Amino acid sequence: MLFIYNSLVELQGAASGTVLMEDLSPEGAALAVEQAVEPGALLEVIASGFRARARVRYCAARETDFRLGVEFLDEVRWQRDQWEPEHAFLPPEAD
């Protein structure tokens, strides 16, 4: 299941700095960054209560930034009961 978030996280590795996490799933996340990052590059996503190594799966140019899709590595899976960003939109559950 995909959750929509607006939360600042830190990146280290092929890209570094504070970026906006736009959505999050157990397997990965989408991040808004200022500079393009090559697919395949390795990053570390760091937030209060959550840390994961990740690989860039795609980088898409947008009007004012880039959207990175990252896949968590090392069998890390995000779990909502372990860490949840402050600003969340949780889609309604399907019947």
- Read off the pLDDT of residues 13-48 as tens digits, 9 standing for 90 and up: 999 999 998 888 888 999 999 999 999 999 999 987
- What pTM, to 2 d.p., does this model score? 0.78
| Higher-pLDDT residue of 81, 89 | 81
Q: What percent of the chain has pLDDT over 70?
A: 74
Q: Which residues of 11-24 are buried (b: 16+ CB within 10 A; e: fewer)?
A: beeebeeebebebb
Residue 1 has pLDDT above 60, yes or no: no
Average pLDDT over residues 42-55: 90
**94 has pLDDT over 60:** no
Report pLDDT for 25: 83
In the chain, at which residue ranges do the beta strands (DSSP E only) sit? 3-13, 17-25, 28-33, 42-47, 50-61, 66-72, 88-89
